[in-house]
């Protein structure tokens, strides 16, 4: 099983390519590829078909650590 970002790297496709093939918004495809959005069953089918893989071959779900997102967004506080 591979994550969507790994499949993007292996396929050589761009966000725009997969968005066009899957008929999904580029913003949604990007969020899925970056692990910020867990796709619906329909989105999973569309993305998998666009990447020429089976839905069962993909590890779907969030891959970003929310702590890292919070740190990048607000910074680390000096005083704990």
| pLDDT tens digits for range 26-76 | 999 999 988 888 899 999 999 999 999 999 999 887 665 555 554 454 555
Distance CA 31, CA 62 (A): 10
Query: pTM, whole model, 2 decimals?
Result: 0.73
Distance CA 3, CA 56 (A): 11
Distance CA 53, CA 33 (A): 15
The answer for 54, left when phi > 0, alpha when psi is -120 to 50, beta otherwise, is beta
Q: Which domains, ranges and CATH numbers included, belong to the chain? A: 2-74 (1.10.260.40)
Distance CA 5, CA 47 (A): 12
């Amino acid at each position: 099983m591979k994550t969507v970002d790994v499949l993007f790297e292996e396929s050589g496709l761009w966000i725009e390519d997969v968005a066009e093939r899957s008929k999904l918004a580029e913003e949604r495809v990007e969020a899925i590829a970056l692990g910020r959005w867990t796709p619906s069953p329909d989105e999973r089918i569309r993305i998998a078909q666009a990447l020429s893989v089976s839905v069962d071959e993909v590890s779907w779900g969030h891959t970003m650590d929310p702590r890292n997102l919070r740190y990048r967004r607000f910074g680390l506080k000096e005083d704990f």
